Structure 1
């Protein structure tokens, strides 16, 4: 096989493209799954595992992985300046999209997702491997200044209280958004109050994918968001509970549709616990059962 210009145009690659490039030294595949044990049970051959709760976060602070630690991780995986990076994962690429956001913040803005993720790969009966790959270390260096893809509490308050002309998109389920529940069933409740950020529109993140896990067409996605008043004419901030589901919508709006988007990873666990900030709670359950 002849390797050269390997990357498909756009932010997505197909399963067929990944299978064709499994032995391509210029391609590095990473798995970032919600179920951190699924990698050991079988993964795309040659894929490097990234555990979202250890590899992509700071071990001490509530923060994403530092530039220094992430740089070391990429060097160990043999990622060079010209490597095409492809991420995939379970649950419709939920955490893979969060991984793409982290990669982009640290200067790797051309990272791609396997369209359909692990779900489609397995459904098509494509090869899986249990071996842990080893690669020759690279000398890649990351930019010292992170990309401006992250919103903070102060940025959200600039919208809510300061009148900044920015759209807020809450991608949680309707019951979380309305305040009827604090968190999805089986997920630990981490906020004191229920509801949503005033002015935010609701687009549950799963509405961006098809039954087989692939993303809906750009035209369909554009129309769905336009129906909510999100058309890319002004900057956007996405948020959810802890910032991971909203990174999936960040990927849709930013990488697929080309809008100006930041992800608020403090999300509802920060905003819903902050003192002195306004919330909207149509269900009237602000304090839950307290």
Structure 2
């Protein structure tokens, strides 16, 4: 082949190949080094990438409809991700139907985001993980708050995707703690650590729930042996998650360094899902989330309770 033709061919490959390859290769391969978080800049750049699904899981009603990340689909945590009659996570059939509707397969890269610094997006990641969708499920670092603060694009149009053929096996119990598990730790029958990520006033028993939130428990206080690191200490002012070094120091100060299994707990399991994500997906610690949390424990008859504030049922 003449040298001129070779040079033209090389030039064409240099110009065309990267775009062609980017259009064909799976998103998961392109972001292999991104870990469990993706940045707002990365997501905006890859909105149209093949093999990517963006899912909003927020708590404020109507927020998605007022404007969402382009291409995002909406998931209502209190109906889509749970069984609405029994207090439980979505069962295999319900979860499989949801994931098929979202067009998600086991090799799909999923970016979850939401309000409240990704509380319920992290809950979604925790539910997804129980059905084996772990490494390809990411959180948008900073969530909806950071996306909006940076004035990145929002859309009000519905997103239509081809349904997948996802099949779900029974949820794995490995990432979920039950009342019996935390009782075993409280009674020193099991060598695990309980991380209570509620506010200091909730932990001490001064209040049962945050201001403006319904009190769903009868008793106030915390599970014996648990330590308190409020979930918000793991995030920066812009809602992004702190660096691994900062996180390790934060939790080590409370005696949590990954040497023992950890159980995260809060009020109904959403804030503790955020801490579960930080500890397990970012730091790699062995962690289970206790989604029964204080709503279950604080209503259970005969369990040991530590109440530093001295509050009692029916008065102070």
Residue 145 of structure 1 and its aligned partner are, at CA, apart by 4.5
Residue 160 of structure 1 and its aligned partner are, at CA, apart by 1.0
Is contact 2:92-2:171 (8 Å) kept?
Answer: no
**Which residue pairs with 2:58 in the alignment?**
33
Partner-residue secondary structure (3-state), 1:53? helix
Cα offsets for 1:87-117 (capped at 9, x unmatched): 0011111111111101101110121000011
C-alpha separation between the residues in 2 aligned to 1:128 and 1:38?
A: 11
Matches within 5 A, 1:7-26: 7-9=31-33, 10-26=35-51
Partner-residue secondary structure (3-state), 1:262? strand
Change (3 A) 1:213 1:8: farther
C-alpha separation between the residues in 1 aligned to 2:218 and 2:128?
A: 31
Matches within 5 A, 1:142-157: 142-157=168-183
Is contact 1:193-1:288 (8 Å) kept?
Answer: no
TM-score (norm 1): 0.97
Partner-residue secondary structure (3-state), 1:34? coil
Determine which structure has the larger helix proportion and give its number. Answer: 2
Count of residues paired in the alignment: 290
Structure 1, gaps ≥5 residues long: none
Q: Give every structure 1 segment of 4 or more consecutive aligned residues whose post-TM-superposition deviation is greater than 6 Å.
A: none
Is contact 1:243-1:264 (8 Å) kept?
Answer: yes
C-alpha separation between the residues in 2 aligned to 1:202 and 1:80?
A: 37
C-alpha separation between the residues in 2 aligned to 1:48 and 1:145?
A: 23
Is contact 2:91-2:171 (8 Å) kept?
Answer: no
Residue 82 of structure 1 and its aligned partner are, at CA, apart by 1.4
Match of 1:120 among 133, 146, 162: 146
Match of 2:296 among 266, 270, 275: 270
Match of 2:166 among 140, 143, 155: 140
Report the structure number with the largest CA radius of gyration: 2
C-alpha separation between the residues in 2 aligned to 1:6 and 1:189?
A: 45
Is contact 1:97-1:248 (8 Å) kept?
Answer: yes
TM-score (norm 2): 0.89
**Which residue pairs with 2:118 in the alignment?**
93
Is contact 2:106-2:133 (8 Å) kept?
Answer: no
Residue 77 of structure 1 and its aligned partner are, at CA, apart by 1.3
Match of 2:203 among 146, 171, 177: 177
**Which residue pairs with 2:95 in the alignment?**
70
**Which residue pairs with 1:191 in the alignment?**
217
**Which residue pairs with 2:11 in the alignment?**
none
Residue 141 of structure 1 and its aligned partner are, at CA, apart by 1.5
C-alpha separation between the residues in 2 aligned to 1:86 and 1:135?
A: 15
Partner-residue secondary structure (3-state), 2:263? strand
C-alpha separation between the residues in 1 aligned to 2:314 and 2:217?
A: 10
Residue 36 of structure 1 and its aligned partner are, at CA, apart by 2.9
C-alpha separation between the residues in 1 aligned to 2:61 and 2:246?
A: 32
